[in-house]
Amino acid sequence: EKKIGMTETWLRKHRLIYDAATRHPFILSIRDATVQSHSFKTWLAQDYLFVRAFVPFVASVLIKACKESSDESDDVEIILGGMASLQDEISWFKREANKLDISLSEVLPQKPNQKYCGLLESLMSEDVEYSVAITAFWAIEAVYQESFAHCIEEGSKTPPQLKETCARWGNQDFGHYCQSIKNIVNRRLQMASDDELKKAELVFLSVLQLEVEFWNMSSGNV
């Protein structure tokens, strides 16, 4: 018998905002090849800054996992694997930026990006429970996975030069990785207090809201 996880319950309960985050007009414009080049460049430059801020956040989740994980769980390895791929991801952002003539050192974070990085920073505190931080981590990765997978599935018209970008987060391996994090979240939430559950749900909703605002920034409708 497989008990249904809290993440499934939340995905059902908060379907509208989840769909807003994973089927955003910016993503749909990539999928139907109407995306404007300045929108894509804005996304790329802002996301580079986001990923740089994401590194210490993931490190903080890793530390919480090390302190809390039991021997039989592989939380630490899964999160460590995610951290390791961020190095390649940062190099990839630099290469892409170069191709598109974007000078990353001159890019400043826009308001929605600052807000999102502010949330990451607040979650790095030692006072934030592992269950809450790993929930945020899962939501952050899952939104990108679902969004970009939609751009490379059958019937999508994503321009060839954007396929590599979409495949970074839309590929199967990244999908499995997100599934592993989701399993960790469900396991941790099963043993969480009501107070932790409430906090985790709120953080899940905050991430979805901030993802929508992040995409809005890329489309230029801030």
- How far apart CA 93 and CA 89 sit, in angstroms, is 6
211: annotated active-site residue: yes
* Of residues 167 and 197, the one with the C-beta less far from ligand HMH: 167
Smallest distance, ligand HMH to C-beta of residue 201, A: 19
In Å, what is the CA distance from 122 to each residue of 43, 57, 127, 138, 194? 23, 9, 10, 16, 21
Smallest distance, ligand HMH to C-beta of residue 162, A: 15
- How far apart CA 33 and CA 157 sit, in angstroms, is 6
DSSP 24: -
* Of residues 75 and 141, the one with the C-beta less far from ligand HMH: 141
Q: Which residues bind ligand HMH (CB under 6 A)?
A: 47, 50-51, 140-141, 143-144, 211, 214
Which residue in the list 1, 201, 211, 213 is annotated as catalytic?
211
* Of residues 47 and 201, the one with the C-beta less far from ligand HMH: 47
Residue with the closest Cβ to ligand HMH?
144
Closest CA to 82 of 183, 6, 173, 8: 173
Report H helices in the chain.
Answer: 6-13, 15-22, 25-31, 37-68, 75-99, 111-123, 130-152, 160-170, 172-190, 194-219
Smallest distance, ligand HMH to C-beta of residue 190, A: 25
Smallest distance, ligand HMH to C-beta of residue 91, A: 14
* Of residues 28 and 51, the one with the C-beta less far from ligand HMH: 51
- How far apart CA 37 and CA 145 sit, in angstroms, is 22
Q: Which residues are catalytic?
A: 211
